[in-house]
């Protein structure tokens, strides 16, 4: 299986207390495995599905709705994959610790 394309991060704000990143995905693109070191909020820019690959081989599909945010605590570890046949994007807001 060929490697997946990589999602593209676009930094909008990078301050000691907050980081705002727009993540853009072509169909099938992934973020790569990562662990969130801070609490964060995600704001989807479109309706769509993301495949969340989790440690231990588990995976699940999350259905996101345009402009409906959700929040997660630090420590989440996963790989995020665009499961849609179209481009997808969301804004991620990380609450950094000074």
- 0.85 cut: is pTM over it? yes
18 band by pLDDT with thresholds 50, 70 and 90: very high
- Looking at residues 76-93, what average pLDDT do you find? 98
Is residue 90 predicted with pLDDT exceeding 80?
A: yes
Q: In sequence order, which residues have a C-beta less than 8 Å from that of residue 83 and are 6 or more positions away?
A: 48, 49, 50, 51, 61
pLDDT of residue 26: 98
């Amino acid at each position: 299986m060929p490697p997946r394309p990589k999602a593209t991060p676009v930094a909008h704000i990078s301050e000691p207390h907050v980081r705002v990143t727009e993540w853009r995905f072509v169909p099938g693109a992934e973020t790569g495995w990562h662990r969130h070191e801070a609490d964060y909020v995600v704001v989807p820019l479109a309706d769509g599905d993301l495949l969340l690959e989790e440690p231990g081989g588990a995976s699940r599909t999350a259905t996101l709705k345009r402009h409906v945010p959700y929040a997660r605590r630090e420590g989440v570890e996963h790989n995020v994959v665009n499961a849609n046949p179209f481009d997808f994007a969301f804004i991620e807001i990380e609450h950094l610790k000074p």
